[in-house]
Structure 1
Amino acid sequence: MDEQRVRGGPPQWWRHGPPWWDRWGEGERAPHWPWRSTVVVTVFVLAGSNFAAHGQEGERAALDPFARVLLLVAGALLLWRKRYPVAVVFGTAGAVMVYLGAGYPYGPVLFTVALACFSAIVAGHRRAAWAAMGTLWVGHVLVAHWLYQWLPPSGDSAASWGEELVVATWVVAIAAVSELFRVRREQWARERAERAEAARRRADEERLRIAQELHDVLAHSISVINVQAGVGLALLDSDPEQARTALTTIKAQSKEALGEVRQVLDTLRAPGDAPRAPAPGLDRLPELVEQAASAGLTVDVEGEPPRLAPGTDLAAFRIVQEALTNVVRHSGSRHARVHFAYDAGVLRLRVDDDGPATGADAGGSGNGLAGMRERAAALGGTIEAGPRPDGGFRVLAVLPLSASAGR
């Protein structure tokens, strides 16, 4: 049983639209011919009118070939209701008006007008549908209270105004139900558009996250490899053993980078699957310090970080990694300090170097700093990066200990 119905609320299909409603929308963009429904309705109208004729024998005129042609026309017009809803609603109203004016039995022929009105209103032609239904009712009033004297069946008397009230109620009910479905359809369309937009936004955020991961992994690893390659080339002839150490570092760093890149790419190949390896966190900070040392950078770690949520742990690790990579690439200092402090529910992470800058991108590239800021903002934190008053460069990250999405 539907969960919404169990709780006493509206059924799920009423809130989000039945599955076939999407096909209705597709039909509007590329109208198709509703053969099956038209045939079913036409057969129902013809058969039901025969049954109604027996029940109203002596009160209304008997069905003759002309009446059957009118019934067939009213039903067949519905074949065009998706392509030409205005013409169909007026055409069926006209055919039914002639049918009733000729004194033929009341019956399911009115269903053709109801379906044509529904299609026109749902398609957005509200005034045309109301005008057609109003015209049908006015025509019925004229026939029932004035023109009946000259129309079959002979000896017929004027209809009561109670019958006219019933017909008017029937017309308004059809139009009102159609309006209700039109409103719900617009709501379903808006909800579908919102869900599609949310899905696109999630996809964009995931692409941004993956781009940040790849940037952080590759920028750090390639910076270390570049430094070690320079050391190896410089010492290849004078100190082969030191050159061998540099090449060993390059091999280890490239292997680690390939592993992390493969882990990121695995999420693209199998979205939704659990990663094969845990995401890196501050427990791997000693590895960063060791890699920085192999690139000629001494790193002092001050303070102990608290136990962090996985998302905050990964962001803090990547921020330290990017900051140290920027020191290796853009600073003349061979010494950096990583400081951790936490209070009032926030982690304060600071990375300092003594400078001076060795290129135009002092402190790091725009992409690296932007990536750090986006990581912090996603958790509800902040990043400040810039020159220190006494020289050098500082990156200060403030991250909440209990991660709360900032988006």
Structure 2
Amino acid sequence: MSSDSSSAKPILPGATIGIFGGGQLGRMTAMAARGMGYRILVLDPDPACPARFVVDGCIEAGWDDSREAANLARGCDVVTLEIEQISPASMEAAASYAPVRPGGAMLAVIQDRIEQKDWLRRNGFPVGEYRAVRSLDELRDAVAALGGRCFCKSATGGYDGRGQGKVGFNAGASLEDEIRMAWEALGERAGVAEKAVDLEKEISVLVARAPNGEVKVYPAALNHHEEQILAWSVIPAPLSSEMEVQAREIAEAIADTFQLEGVLAVEMFCTIDGRLLVNELAPRPHNSYHASVRACVTGQFEQLVRAVCDLPLGDVDVVQPAAIANLLGDLWLKDGQAVEPRFDAALAVPGVRLHLYEKHKPRKGRKMGHLSAVGATADEAVALVQRALAALQDG
């Protein structure tokens, strides 16, 4: 089967969709796809991955196993992904048997933070000051050039605070000690040093684009992080109409430049002086758009299915404001002992729903599920989901 999308035809229900990755994003995509009448196969190295319990078949293999990637695609009509770590060889092997959306060229840019930043800058998109660093000496030079306060991120892998360090924020440590600790946080490997900016808020914008060129851009989501992990998010974000339009235009232009087939989340910083800066790109469903399932006419997981199958894209208008709060593994652990969160207490809060991912080993910082809530306003939705989270913790 050719992966050329120039003469693509809609892939209708009854067909089989393959997913690289069986984590919570793959699980929720599979649940949306099954509701639409598709069969689902996933590839994941974890034999107990969250998607395994809701799909038709699961191939246990690593992201760099091109032979099994080909086997996945051989049994599918289209392949998509829920994680960026797929090797180029695996993407290429799969594309020999089925369309892979989004494609390998786009993924190669995004999965390397140095190349991603360089690509954004080359194509005229607004990014903050940064330097690529490939040694401790280069990190020292970058910190000096960027004014002494930086966030450092590994070039590949790393998320939810892993593979990241900070310089210039610890008054009790010398600058040299902070630089060394940041280099260690990068795994003593290549990364990006980014100049700290004065933030007003963090937002994300999700774009869906089908092979036929149809595009839908979701209203922006407002995101709140704690210890570099998303704590809560709400749709729609409280933005001025001018900034909402600007964020939408930036995200759509990035998707068009890539010739995206699928969905793309564009994380952005809103600075105190009124600028929008692109932070990172994710070519898949995004944690900050879990609330779209309740806030918007079409949730992000159904939209991904529509996009990769070249179906008409769904309406993205907000029906009602909605917020989510992540449930981390810390909630299952107290003083080193296993505890059961009070889900019943959380569900007693009006408008709240519980979403668990069937991960059986809670760990500190691991995303085990999320709560969602709807409200008359974005502020009310956030207040309700935070109230539910407090009830879950305290009973």
Q: Name the TM-score, length of structure 2 as normaliser.
A: 0.21
Q: If each structure's strand is expressed as a fraction of its own residues, which one has the higher value?
A: 2
Q: If each structure's helix is expressed as a fraction of its own residues, which one has the higher value?
A: 1
RCO (CA 8 Å, sep 6+): is it higher in 1 or 2? 2
Larger radius of gyration: 1
